[in-house]
């Protein structure tokens, strides 16, 4: 059911409009002032507004401006109502963004029928627009997701890395990047087939997603590599996240029989803690990649950190015994 907001400081007129719309089976909310109307619009899902041209506190045109300037409410159709037979009011209301105009009172049956038809037509159009926007959002989301995992894809990763790196430098906020490379995936593909490797990648993607905060951006970087953009996280916080992931992946792999081939992950971390630390997002990304490569080279199933041009095992940076619990 669509929700209509009646905005009029006269309770008699609100009752008349409610009566005229009773056949439509709408949810009808009421406001007696422009300020009250704006509060309702921002706290409830409103599909159409019937707005009196003469209101206390905030004018009809100010209410229209506030509704139309907000991306969340700009598509709500508005019918402006006036008891004054003045064309300038109609002209000004339509120029301010109203979709239609009607005169009151609604004493005649014809006037009530016209209102009912205008409401029905505007709501039909609004419902189509809402459906198209929903489908567009779903389509945009799908284009940002990896086909194998439920994580974001590389294209979305580059967009978000650029945005978060720029924000970190501008506002001097911490930003961490975690690079994850599965160990021994090639051997598993060779011995058990690519279908087994794809299944493994999908399952690890789920582990990564479950360990991330809602503000983190987990990504399938490509092949057997994953990345997590971790905004507002210092090095210690990134290490704790990475060690938990390493332990989770190790525990998961221990439950799968790949004839002695271990399922583990090598992980690299870099943290930007001040604006001058990295010249570009590519340099920032390379630092995480170098740390991940070093973790794989010196033993695998290991977390390494890129700190001031040096690569150091995480266990030498953070007291992991006090910070990281066992894998669940």
Domains defined along the chain, listed by start = 3-143 (3.40.50.2300), 154-323 (3.30.70.270)
Cβ neighbours of residue 259 under 8 Å, at least 6 residues apart?
Answer: 191
Closest CA to 324 of 231, 251, 220: 251
Distance CA(275)–CA(88), nearest Å, equals: 55
Instruction: Give the Å distances, CA to CA, from 326 to 240, 251, 300.
Output: 12, 9, 19
Distance CA(46)–CA(27), nearest Å, equals: 9
Q: How is 206-224 classified by DSSP, letter by letter?
A: HHHHHHS-TT-EEEEEETT
Q: What is the pLDDT along the chain (328 residues), one digit of tens a residue?
A: 899 999 998 888 888 888 888 877 889 999 999 899 999 999 999 999 999 988 877 888 899 999 988 888 988 999 998 877 777 888 888 888 899 988 888 778 888 888 889 999 999 999 988 888 888 777 767 788 998 998 999 999 999 999 999 999 998 999 999 999 999 888 998 888 989 999 999 999 999 999 999 999 999 998 899 999 999 999 999 999 999 999 999 999 888 878 878 889 999 999 998 767 898 999 999 999 999 999 999 989 999 999 999 999 998 888 766 555 544 4
What was the pLDDT predicted at 258? 82
Per DSSP, the three-state class of 99 is: coil
- Taking each helix axis as running N to C, give the angle between helix 60-69 and helix 34-43, from 0 to 180 degrees, rounded to the nearest 10: 20
Distance CA(129)–CA(121), nearest Å, equals: 13
The token pair that represents 13 in the structure block: 């007129």
What was the pLDDT predicted at 260? 79
What was the pLDDT predicted at 84? 73
Closest CA to 229 of 281, 160, 148: 160
What was the pLDDT predicted at 305? 96
What was the pLDDT predicted at 88? 82
Q: How many CB atoms lie within 10 A of CB 125?
A: 12
């Amino acid at each position: 059911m669509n929700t209509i907001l009646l905005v009029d400081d006269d309770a008699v007129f609100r009752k008349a409009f409610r009566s005229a719309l009773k056949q439509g089976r709408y949810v009808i909310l009421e406001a007696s002032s422009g300020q009250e109307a704006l509060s309702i619009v921002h706290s409830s899902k409103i599909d159409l507004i019937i707005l009196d041209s003469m209101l206390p506190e905030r004018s009809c045109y100010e209410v229209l401006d506030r509704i139309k300037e907000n991306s969340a409410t700009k598509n709500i159709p508005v019918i402006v109502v006036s008891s004054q037979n003045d064309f300038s009011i109609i002209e000004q209301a339509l120029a301010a963004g109203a979709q239609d105009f009607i005169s009151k009172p609604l004493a005649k049956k014809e006037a009530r029928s016209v209102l009912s038809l205008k409401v029905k037509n505007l709501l039909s159009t609004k419902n189509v627009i809402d459906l198209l926007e929903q489908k567009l959002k779903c389509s945009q989301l799908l284009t940002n997701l990896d086909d194998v995992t439920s994580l974001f894809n590389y294209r979305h990763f580059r967009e978000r890395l650029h945005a978060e790196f720029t924000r970190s430098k501008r506002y001097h906020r911490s930003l961490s990047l975690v690079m994850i490379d599965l160990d021994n995936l090639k051997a598993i593909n060779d011995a058990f087939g690519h279908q087994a490797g794809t299944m493994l990648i999908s399952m690890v993607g789920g582990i990564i997603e479950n360990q991330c905060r809602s503000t983190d951006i987990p990504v399938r970087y490509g092949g057997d590599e994953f990345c997590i953009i971790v905004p507002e996280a210092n090095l210690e916080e990134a290490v704790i996240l990475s060690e938990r992931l390493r332990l989770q992946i190790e525990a998961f792999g221990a439950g799968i029989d790949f004839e002695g081939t271990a399922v583990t992950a090598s992980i690299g971390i870099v943290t930007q803690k001040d604006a001058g630390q990295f010249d570009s997002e590519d340099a920032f990304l390379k630092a995480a990649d170098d740390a991940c490569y070093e973790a794989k080279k010196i033993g695998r199933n290991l977390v390494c950190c890129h700190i001031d041009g040096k690569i150091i095992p995480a266990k030498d940076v953070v007291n992991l015994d006090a910070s990281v619990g066992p894998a669940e």
